[in-house]
């Protein structure tokens, strides 16, 4: 097999640089105004692409460092990319995940758009591969994080469409961070046939059905790209390669690749299922996560942050339910919540719910314990609060739920239930299928509107 050397253009195509790149040009003073919106102090340039430059910046209010992506409006408008910029902003606000680069805020001037994002200091995953292929255990750790992100995005109807090692950054602890959602698509972009039709991505990582221009499933196309990435991590070179682009596309269409002899049988089987040229028979995300190779994990002795916080809860908040005053009631009322003015949040995406009851706190706690037992959740409690935590890791770790009980009067209580950790959609599914039905008969119903759990 002819192997492509590990230079950036040959291995990864001619795509733009991601914000974690290292071999970057030096800035000039004219490119680096001292202050931005009187809030950020810009520093050295970290990298640049065709349409953007990225600087190290410091938030003067908090002292925290961020990466400031600066995009020229005129150039973006001239090439018709303003919709792409808007899409990237919308997606990054929607997909908040530990393994996705966080967007802090977006600002604009007459000539530029500024993205203040999480500063990821470890550089690109490419830098590790350029030094040689990775050991299988390390490749698995990165791949597990990548697939968890993709599963999370797909659950929100978001498809990345440009997955490649250049768009995978590493933080100081070696955790993966996915970036560059500029080519992503929403489920709303599906045509009447239920498929996406825009051809995009980087040639070496793009799925055969995307090249074919006949419509494609964004989730399955992302999984193909994940398969190419896993191959590159384990091999140190691309599965499909040829000096002639048409010849390379033919190999992609046919799924014409060979695994090196050092691939384990389990890794070989998984990659073959991911790089199936037929999207209808290609492996699904859930089956990837259920595969024996994927499930080999970190030592069980390593405790998660959620586990430590759950164990630290000792119920010392209060021996009895706290009595609410007028200010407490105002703070709990959505009518005084200004966040909807700035961020539209669907009812089904709520991270908390409240209900009133005339039952004693002990009855509420007992009912919550029953729910936890039926779902195999761990429970910690006091006389005025309950903490539930799932045993299985979900899309964003273990689901943890906090319930706090407040007294309006000695015989009339308000219970606030909220997500403490985990994925919001998984929390909402838990509430709709388990929580609300179990609490239905103890919820106080207003005679006026028959309202139940909010």
Q: Which of 162, 171, 217, 420 is catalytic?
A: 162
Residues 152 and 111: beta-carbon distance below 8 Å: no
Pairing of strands 176-178, 378-381: unpaired
Residues 273 and 282: beta-carbon distance below 8 Å: yes
Alpha-carbon distance of 231 to 371, in angstroms, equals 43
Q: For residue 454, what are the CA distances in angstroms to 273, 352, 409, 419, 441?
A: 44, 9, 20, 15, 15
Alpha-carbon distance of 333 to 228, in angstroms, equals 49
Pairing of strands 397-409, 322-323: parallel
Among residues 356, 354, 358, the alpha carbon closest in space to that of 411 is found at: 358
Alpha-carbon distance of 263 to 269, in angstroms, equals 10
Q: Can 162 be counted among the known catalytic residues?
A: yes
Alpha-carbon distance of 176 to 120, in angstroms, equals 10
- Identify the helix (H) or strand (E) that includes residue 353: strand 352-357
Beta bridge partners of 430: none
Residues 115 and 158: beta-carbon distance below 8 Å: no
Does 287 carry a binding-site annotation?
no
Reduced to 3 states (helix: H, G, I; strand: E, B; else coil), residue 43 is: strand
Alpha-carbon distance of 221 to 390, in angstroms, equals 32
Tokens of 4: 């492509």
Alpha-carbon distance of 454 to 445, in angstroms, equals 11
Q: For residue 22, what are the CA distances in angstroms to 62, 103, 248, 278, 376?
A: 26, 21, 29, 37, 47
Tokens of 309: 């916080």
Backbone angles phi, psi at 375, to 5 degrees: -100, 5
Binding residues: 73
Binding residues for ATP: 73
Q: Which residues are catalytic?
A: 162
């Amino acid at each position: 097999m002819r192997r492509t050397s590990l230079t950036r253009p040959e291995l990864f195509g001619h795509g733009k640089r991601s914000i974690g790149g290292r071999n970057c040009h030096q800035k000039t003073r004219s490119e680096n105004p001292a202050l931005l919106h009187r809030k950020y102090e810009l520093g050295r340039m970290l990298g640049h692409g065709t349409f953007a430059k990225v600087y190290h910046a410091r938030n003067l209010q908090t002292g925290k460092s961020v990466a400031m992506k600066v995009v020229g409006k005129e150039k973006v408008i001239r090439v018709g990319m303003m919709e792409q910029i808007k899409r990237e902003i919308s997606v990054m606000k929607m997909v908040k995940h530990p393994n996705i680069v966080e967007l802090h805020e977006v600002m604009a001037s007459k000539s530029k758009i500024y993205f203040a994002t999480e500063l990821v200091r470890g550089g690109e995953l490419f830098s590790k591969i350029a030094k040689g292929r990775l050991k299988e255990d390390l490749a698995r750790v990165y791949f597990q994080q990548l697939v968890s992100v993709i599963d999370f995005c797909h659950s929100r109807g978001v498809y990345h469409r440009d997955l490649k090692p250049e768009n995978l950054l590493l933080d100081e602890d070696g955790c993966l961070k996915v970036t560059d959602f500029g080519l992503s698509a929403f489920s709303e972009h599906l045509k009447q046939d239920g498929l996406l039709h825009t051809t995009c991505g980087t040639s070496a990582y793009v799925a055969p059905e995307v090249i074919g221009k006949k419509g494609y499933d964004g989730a399955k196309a992302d999984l193909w790209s994940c398969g190419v990435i896993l191959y590159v991590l384990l091999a140190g070179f691309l599965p499909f390669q040829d000096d002639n682009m048409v010849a390379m596309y033919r190999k992609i269409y046919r799924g014409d690749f060979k695994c090196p002899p050092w691939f384990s049988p389990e890794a070989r089987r998984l990659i073959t299922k991911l790089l199936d040229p037929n999207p209808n028979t290609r492996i699904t995300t859930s089956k990837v996560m259920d595969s024996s190779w994927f499930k080999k994990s970190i030592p069980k002795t390593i405790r998660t942050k959620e586990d430590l916080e759950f164990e630290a809860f000792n119920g010392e908040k209060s021996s009895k339910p706290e009595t609410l005053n007028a200010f407490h009631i105002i703070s709990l009322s959505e009518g005084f919540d200004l966040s909807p003015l700035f961020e539209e949040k669907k009812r089904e995406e709520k991270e908390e719910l409240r209900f009133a009851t005339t039952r004693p706190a002990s009855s509420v706690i007992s009912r919550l314990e029953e729910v936890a037992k039926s779902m195999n959740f761990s429970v910690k409690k006091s006389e005025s609060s309950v903490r539930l935590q799932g045993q299985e890791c979900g899309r964003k770790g273990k689901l943890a739920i906090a319930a706090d009980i407040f007294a309006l009067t000695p015989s009339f209580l308000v219970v606030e239930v909220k997500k403490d950790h985990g994925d919001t959609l998984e929390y909402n599914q838990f509430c709709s299928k388990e929580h609300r039905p179990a609490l239905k008969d103890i919820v106080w119903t207003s005679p006026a509107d028959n309202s139940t759990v909010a």
